[in-house]
Each structure stands twice: as C-alpha cells, then as structure tokens.
C-alpha cells in the first residue's frame, strides 16, 4: 500500500467508525446530532486520527485497538473548529468550502453540537471495548489535559489576545504549541498508550508529533502567502490582510522554509527508536506534510 492509499484507507476507516458512533438520532433532538455529524463528516485530512492509528501499530498494537481513541481525537478537533467559527470567536461563515456549522444549523445548535462532540469524545474512550480500564483512564487524562484550559483552549486564549498586535516569536511558538500542537501530540500519544508502549516510545512519539505539528503550522503560514488558491481551496493573503501573527511574517518565507525542513528532519530522527521497517510511513508523512501545496 503506498502513501496515498494508506491515508485514504485510514480516513475511510475513521469516518465509518465516526458515523457508527453517531448513528442513533432520536427525533426530539435530532438537530444537534445532525450538526455534530455535519461537522465531523465535513472532510479534512484526518491527520490526527491517522497518527493515533499509526503509533499504535508502530508500538506493536493492533490498529483496531486505537480506532475509538482516534475517533475521540477527531471529535475534539471537530468541536474546536465549530466553536472557533462562531461569531464571538473567528466569525467564519465557511469551513472547508462549506457553510460552517452555525451558518447551517444556527448558533445555538452549533454551540451545543461542539459541546456534544467534546463530551462524546470522552464517552467514546470510556466505552471503547478494545481498551482495559487502565488504558481508558490514561487516554481520558491525556486527552483532557491536551484539549483543556492548559492545552488547546489556552492556545485559543493567546490567539484571541494576539489579534491586531505584534507578538514575539516566543509567544507565537507558545500559541502554536498549545493551539494546534497539543492535539497533534496527544493524537500520537494515545496511539502509544493503546499499544502499551514504554516511556521511551511515548517520548519519541511526542517529539515526532511536536515537530510535525510546528512544521505543519509554518507551512500553513507559507502557503497563505505563496500558495495556489485553487489547490488550497481558500483565498491566499488572508493572514496578512487581518494582520495575523504568523511564522511567515515573523521569520520571512526563506527562514520559515528552513525551519520546516529542519523540523521535518528532527521528526524523522525521533522515529529512530522504532523498527525502521515499520516507521517508513510516518517518515513519508512528515515529508509530505512539509512539501504539500494544500
């Protein structure tokens, strides 16, 4: 199976499971469940659940074992996008070329759909038939910390506070590490936990995820300046227009590209603790994310 096949096979598997986890929709309150499904199934690269599945198999586990935690990670990612798009936050009408959740279902339902997905993430782990109670408790703890007020939410707070003012490189790094980095890191980490990985493996996964997470964000910022609108599916130049603090504006394009290249190498190096036969896909993933055009 080549890189593209693996990506789409994992995405398909995650999407099937997500659908089945949200199957039940009693008529009296179907709207919120439809809104949850709408946002959850709106596409995206499914990179986070892919990391969960990949690190589980890399650490010697069965992919199936990590499927529900992988879905939980994607639910939290999806909830964060719904709440981020709300008028009181980024006020975005479009998400991946489609009406965002509150445009499609109204603000109240979108708010509740986000709450519902966040809650469902923890239910999904606690109900996972593939995990023993110790793994469930560890996954819940790690996921809640990563998504919580000292993790992803802290990143959103710093992001809001940084609007319309110049921030330092340190603050930008902290913002990125928290707002997007924490969830990417915990995605990899949950895969390790599901497989019963040792501390050394978990640390390697942390470093890999941290590096590709940062590289991904920097590449995003670069593409916003020099990307192809058609391939991106969104207008370029929006960051500059809204005076957003980005790596590309703070470091310049050339230095940003060097950073992406160096982070990608560091990510690949971190995988050296694993069987090199099995880590090939994650190495390619790091490279592809760094050289993507969308």
Q: Is 213 in the site for its own copies (CB under 8 A)?
A: no
Least distance to its own copies from the beta carbon of 11, Å? 24
Q: Which of 294, 227, 289, 246 is nearest to 264 (CA)?
A: 289
Cα(43)–Cα(54) distance, rounded to whole angstroms?
A: 20
Instruction: State how far the Cα of 254 lies from the Cα of 258, in Å rounded to an integer.
Output: 6
Kindly identify the residues of this chain, within the stretch 241-260, that bind its own copies according to CB under 8 A. Answer: none
126-145 residues near its own copies, rule: CB under 8 A: 126-127, 132-134, 136-138, 140-141, 143-145
Q: What's 208-248 look like in SS3? A: HHHHHHHHHHHHHHHHHHHCCHHHHCCCCCHHHHCCCCCHH
Q: Is 95 helix (H, G, I), strand (E, B) or coil?
A: strand
Count of residues in contact with its own copies, rule CB under 8 A? 58
* Stretch 98-117 residues interacting with its own copies (CB under 8 A): 106-109, 111-116
Sketch the per residue contact string, 3 through 42, with its own copies: x for CB under 8 A, - otherwise.
---------------------x-x-xx-xxx--x------
Note the helical H segments in 28-66: 30-40, 47-58
Residues lying near its own copies in the complex (CB under 8 A): 24, 26, 28-29, 31-33, 36, 79, 83, 86-89, 106-109, 111-116, 118-120, 122-123, 125-127, 132-134, 136-138, 140-141, 143-145, 147-150, 153-158, 160-161, 171, 174, 178
């Amino acid at each position: 199976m080549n890189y593209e096949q693996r990506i789409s096979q994992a995405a398909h598997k995650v999407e099937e499971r997500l659908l089945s986890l949200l199957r039940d929709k009693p008529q009296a309150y179907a709207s919120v469940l439809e809104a949850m499904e709408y946002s959850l199934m709106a596409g995206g690269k499914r990179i986070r659940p892919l990391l969960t599945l990949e690190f589980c198999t890399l650490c010697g586990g069965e992919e199936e074992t990590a499927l529900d935690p992988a879905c939980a990670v994607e639910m939290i990612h999806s909830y964060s996008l719904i709440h981020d798009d709300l008028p009181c936050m980024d006020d975005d009408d479009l998400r991946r070329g489609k009406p965002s959740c509150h445009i499609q279902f109204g603000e109240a339902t979108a708010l509740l759909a986000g709450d519902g997905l966040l809650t469902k993430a923890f239910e999904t782990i606690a109900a996972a038939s593939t995990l023993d109670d110790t793994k469930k408790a560890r996954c819940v703890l790690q996921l809640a910390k990563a998504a919580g007020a000292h993790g992803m939410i802290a990143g959103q707070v710093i992001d809001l506070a940084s609007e319309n003012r110049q921030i330092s490189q340190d603050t930008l790094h902290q913002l990125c590490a928290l707002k997007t980095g924490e969830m990417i890191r915990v995605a990899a980490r949950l895969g390790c936990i599901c497989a019963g990985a040792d501390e050394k493996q978990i640390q390697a996964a942390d470093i890999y995820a941290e590096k590709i997470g940062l590289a991904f964000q920097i590449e995003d910022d670069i593409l916003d300046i020099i990307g192809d609108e058609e391939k991106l599916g969104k207008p370029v130049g929006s960051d500059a227009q809204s005076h957003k603090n980005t790596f590309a504006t703070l470091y310049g394009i050339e230095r940003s590209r060097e950073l992406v290249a160096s982070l990608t190498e560091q990510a690949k190096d971190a995988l050296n603790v694993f069987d090199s036969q099995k880590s090939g896909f994650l190495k390619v993933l790091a490279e592809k994310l760094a050289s993507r055009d969308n």
